[in-house]
Amino acid sequence: MVRPNQLLHAQREPAVPRPAATVLLLRDGTEGAEVLMTRRSATASFAPGAYVFPGGGIDAADAEAHGLAARRPTQKDLHLTQAIAAIRESFEELGILLARHADGRPASAEDVAGLDRHAPFAAQCRARGLTLAADQVFVLAHWITDRDLPRRFDVPFLVARMPEGQSPVADEAEQFEPVWVRPGDALARHKAGQFFMIFPTIRTLERLEKFKRVDEILQACATEQPLWTSCPRGGMQHGAEVRFMEHEMAYGELALVCPDGQLQHHLDWRTDQPVPLLKNVVRVTAPNPGVMTGPGTNSYLIGDPDTGYIAIDPGPDEPEHQQRIWRAAGGDIRMIVCTHSHADHSPGAKPLQALCRNSPPILGLPSAPTARPASEFTPDRALAHGEVLVLRGGPETHSLKVIHTPGHAANHLCLVLLEDGLLLSGDHILNGSTTVVDPPDGDMTAYLDSLDALAAACVEHGIEFILPAHGHVLGFAPQAIAMLKAHRLQRESRIVAAMRERPGGSLEDWVELAYADVPPRMWPVAKRSLLAHVQRIEALQLIS
């Protein structure tokens, strides 16, 4: 866990989320599934003027109305309370009643007309002999409002089929203009500036776009578990607020830099200035963007003015980049570490060393005989697996543990900032893409074994975040590593299938089958990792 005194922004306690419930009322239109939405009042305290799904806070009376509601055998008490709240809110806001009579007849427009939207809901239903159709309300998703907002809600997004014979009528107080709309159409209108929606609504509609009929949506929700759970995070990009879910590339960086939800961090890629991530961690991105490097190679400085700094991956031989690293460290660089010898990582080491008066040692592992000529590298001193590099001075200590991680390159290593639970992963783990494993210096079995070693390090050292050499910081480190390994093995199974379909084929034959989900322009790069998989498959005799 990151030391609190290394955070860039003062800790604060986000507002406590209030329990609420939202319901997506669905129907099958002539061109696909449609959802009912309404526009919130321009003076509403939350999401004013936005098109939303009906819903609101959960009342104590909702939990007390369990005896009035039908439920599925698998429906938990909490989900039942949430469903009752959603049924009540859809009636109060839109005059839609999800209920039925004792003989099974659904509530009718006459029943709706006989109820007062402003009087206690459950008591009126009981008086008319109505049972709430909570068994027909299913959990779609679970949203928790962003940490930066003053009003927060812990809210399931529920789904239910619109009852026949009823028509929505907005209360004209909080909700206006009920409209049936296909998810894709709502998204298009929002993009055109004609249909304002907030982040959870947009992301929910994006997920619903893939479903054609209401039955498909309800079937997907039959497990009683939300299809996703999210507490988004916000940052700044291109001068505007942007928000991200947990699986999106910028989420981990926002969680590291602004853990309590402060809207302070700018996500635009800057090569002209250093970007502080913590008080003791600074990223300086080289101006070498491209297909293989993404936004550029990330160099990192670990340390503080009292301890001096360790520079990690000084990048390509780009004088202005080395100058920026040197200036960001105030000239006080104690060590220079290269995670491996590829041309976008290690050539800047000697120029950076030359800028420093104390001539800090260049550390790493020498390139193996299998390395390509452009990747030849000899450090001043070779690092040992398990070795710890320590910076001391003033009140703080910063310790980097070395983990040898061959696979992407034979001399690849990763570093763990022990005091803060951070993994500096070099090219072994990237954000936004999978690294290339290029034989003979690259080896797929070694790569997968190194992922296992990093997974074990996460457990041993409580690693939560990964700082890659390309892309934003990754959060949920153990899960990210597990997903990366699963992706590699899934790709390998596709390669095995391709080899069986075209026995005796070439890499060109197999890549179009195994990498059919990858744009053909990327196949020349993919063939390098494909070869590494083929060598592993043959060595392990995975094809009889």
Predicted local distance difference test score (pLDDT) of residue 522: 92
Q: Rounded to an integer, what distance in angstroms lies between the CA atom of residue 112 and that of residue 187? A: 31
Contact criterion met (CB below 8 Å) for 393 and 308: yes
Token digits for 369?
């005989």
**Which one, of 458, 464, 536, lies nearest residue 495 by Cα?**
536
Residue 65 has pLDDT above 90, yes or no: yes
**Which one, of 410, 382, 415, lies nearest residue 400 by Cα?**
415
Predicted local distance difference test score (pLDDT) of residue 395: 93
Structure confidence at residue 356 as a pLDDT band (50, 70, 90): very high
Predicted local distance difference test score (pLDDT) of residue 149: 92
Contact criterion met (CB below 8 Å) for 23 and 89: yes
Residue 171 has pLDDT above 90, yes or no: no
Instruction: Write down how long the chain is.
Output: 544
Say whether 51 sits in a helix, a strand or coil: strand
Residue 45 has pLDDT above 80, yes or no: no
Q: Rounded to an integer, what distance in angstroms lies between the CA atom of residue 450 and that of residue 441? A: 15
Is residue 178 within a helix (H) or strand (E), and if so which, with residue range? Answer: strand 175-181
Mean pLDDT of the chain: 95
* CB burial string 371-405: b at 16+ within 10 A, e below: beeebebebeeebeeeeebebeeeebebbbbbbbb
Contact criterion met (CB below 8 Å) for 379 and 366: yes
**Which one, of 424, 423, 447, lies nearest residue 435 by Cα?**
447
User: Hey, what CATH topology would domain 18-227 get?
Assistant: Nucleoside Triphosphate Pyrophosphohydrolase (3.90.79)
User: Hey, what CATH topology would domain 274-483 get?
Assistant: Metallo-beta-lactamase; Chain A (3.60.15)
Beta strand spans in 428-507 (E) = 465-468
Q: Rounded to an integer, what distance in angstroms lies between the CA atom of residue 336 and that of residue 350? A: 9
Parallel/antiparallel/unpaired status of strands 333-337 and 308-312 = parallel
Neighbours of 26 (CB within 10 A): 23
Residue 544 has pLDDT above 80, yes or no: no
Q: Rounded to an integer, what distance in angstroms lies between the CA atom of residue 361 and that of residue 377? A: 14
Q: Rounded to an integer, what distance in angstroms lies between the CA atom of residue 33 and that of residue 208? A: 9
Contact criterion met (CB below 8 Å) for 384 and 260: no
State pLDDT tens for residues 453-471: 999 999 999 999 999 999 9
| Over residues 365-391, mean pLDDT | 96
State pLDDT tens for residues 180-199: 999 999 999 999 999 999 99
Q: How many H helices and E strands in the chain?
A: 14, 24
How much of the chain exceeds pLDDT 90, in percent? 94
Q: Rounded to an integer, what distance in angstroms lies between the CA atom of residue 344 and that of residue 336? A: 15
Q: Rounded to an integer, what distance in angstroms lies between the CA atom of residue 156 and that of residue 402? A: 44
Neighbours of 509 (CB within 10 A): 15
Q: Rounded to an integer, what distance in angstroms lies between the CA atom of residue 520 and that of residue 10? A: 48
Beta strand spans in 198-305 (E) = 229-230, 233-237, 240-244, 275-278, 281-285, 298-304
Parallel/antiparallel/unpaired status of strands 381-382 and 388-393 = unpaired
| Over residues 45-49, mean pLDDT | 82
Say whether 88 sits in a helix, a strand or coil: helix
Predicted local distance difference test score (pLDDT) of residue 340: 98
Query: Which positions ≥6 away from 25 have C-beta within 8 Å?
Result: 35, 36, 53, 54, 90, 94, 96, 160, 161, 162, 168
Task: Measure Cα distances from 381 to 88, 293, 338 in Å.
Answer: 70, 27, 11
**Which one, of 336, 277, 243, lies nearest residue 474 by Cα?**
277
Contact criterion met (CB below 8 Å) for 443 and 410: yes
Predicted local distance difference test score (pLDDT) of residue 172: 80
**Which one, of 250, 248, 376, 273, lies nearest residue 324 by Cα?**
273
State pLDDT tens for residues 232-277: 999 999 999 999 999 999 999 999 999 999 999 999 999 999 999 9
Predicted local distance difference test score (pLDDT) of residue 176: 86
- C-alpha torsion angle, residues 444, 445, 447, 448 (rounded to 10): 120
Predicted local distance difference test score (pLDDT) of residue 532: 97
Task: Check residues 172 and 504 and name the one with the higher pLDDT.
Answer: 504
Parallel/antiparallel/unpaired status of strands 229-230 and 138-144 = parallel
Task: Give me the residue spans of the domains in the chain.
Answer: 18-227, 274-483, 489-539
Neighbours of 487 (CB within 10 A): 11
Task: Measure Cα distances from 9 to 149, 276, 532 in Å.
Answer: 17, 11, 44
State pLDDT tens for residues 312-348: 999 999 999 999 999 999 999 999 999 999 999 999 9
Q: Rounded to an integer, what distance in angstroms lies between the CA atom of residue 375 and that of residue 13? A: 48
Residue 41 has pLDDT above 90, yes or no: no
Predicted local distance difference test score (pLDDT) of residue 188: 97
Phi, psi at 458, each rounded to 5°: -60, -45
